[in-house]
Every structure is written in C-alpha cells, then in structure tokens.
C-alpha cells in the first residue's frame, strides 16, 4: 500500500505505465530501423541474469529476443568490419588512401 494520497499514487502508476509504453515504442523503432520487423521483442517482466540476484526483475525484451538481437548485431559488426578491411586495402591505406591506417604491419606513424 502506498503512503501517498490515492490520486498521487494513481498518477505515479500511470506514469510508470506510460514509461513502459514509450520504452516498447522506442525498442520497436530501433528494431524496425535495422529492418528486423520479423523479431518479436516480447516485452514483459523478466529476470535479467547480469543484474544482482536480489534485483533482477525488469520490464524488458524477452531473453530469446535479447539473444537474437545480440546475435544479429554481432553478425552485422563482423560484416561491417570485414567490409572496412576490403575498402582500406591490404597495404594499410586509410580511408583517404594515404596510408594513414595502421594496416597489417601495425604501424602507428
């Protein structure tokens, strides 16, 4: 039971519900920006394993969705990293073509 007047407690609860709605909306917008509309985020209350045991419950995406998001982001990162190597060339040229990158030899200057 809340120690606040009923009106304040109801307004606070309504604010929490609105915040959850906005978080879900933001998560879906980011998902859609990546083109992953096929991914069901499954928002609900879940125990988040990386948080302290006594405080793990959060309103967030499902564990399965979290794993899938991380898997896709890792794949995208690997894809982009591989593409940047191709653009820089084997001699360690930077984006401007002047050899400013560290390249394969690991040179700094």
Instruction: Provide the number of structural domains found in the chain.
Output: 1
Handedness of CA 18, 30, 63, 38 (dihedral sign): positive
In a domain, 19, yes or no: yes
- One digit per residue, the tens of pLDDT, for the chain of length 109 reads 568 788 888 999 999 999 999 999 999 999 999 999 999 999 999 999 999 999 999 999 999 999 999 999 999 999 999 865 555 554 454 444 444 444 445 555 4
Distance (Å, rounded) from C-alpha 26 to C-alpha 7?
A: 28
Range of the domain at 57: 6-87
In a domain, 69, yes or no: yes
pTM above 0.75, yes or no: no
In a domain, 32, yes or no: yes
In a domain, 96, yes or no: no
In a domain, 101, yes or no: no
In a domain, 94, yes or no: no
């Amino acid at each position: 039971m809340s120690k606040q007047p009923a009106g304040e407690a109801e307004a606070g609860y309504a604010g929490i519900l609105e915040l959850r709605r906005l978080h879900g909306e933001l998560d879906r917008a980011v998902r859609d920006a990546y083109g992953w509309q096929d991914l069901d985020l499954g928002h609900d209350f879940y125990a988040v394993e990386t948080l302290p045991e006594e405080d793990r419950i959060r309103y967030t995406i499902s564990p399965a969705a979290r794993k899938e998001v991380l898997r896709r982001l890792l794949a995208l990162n690997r894809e982009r990293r591989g593409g940047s190597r191709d653009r820089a060339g084997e001699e360690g040229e930077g984006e401007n073509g002047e050899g400013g990158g560290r390249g394969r030899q690991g040179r700094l200057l």
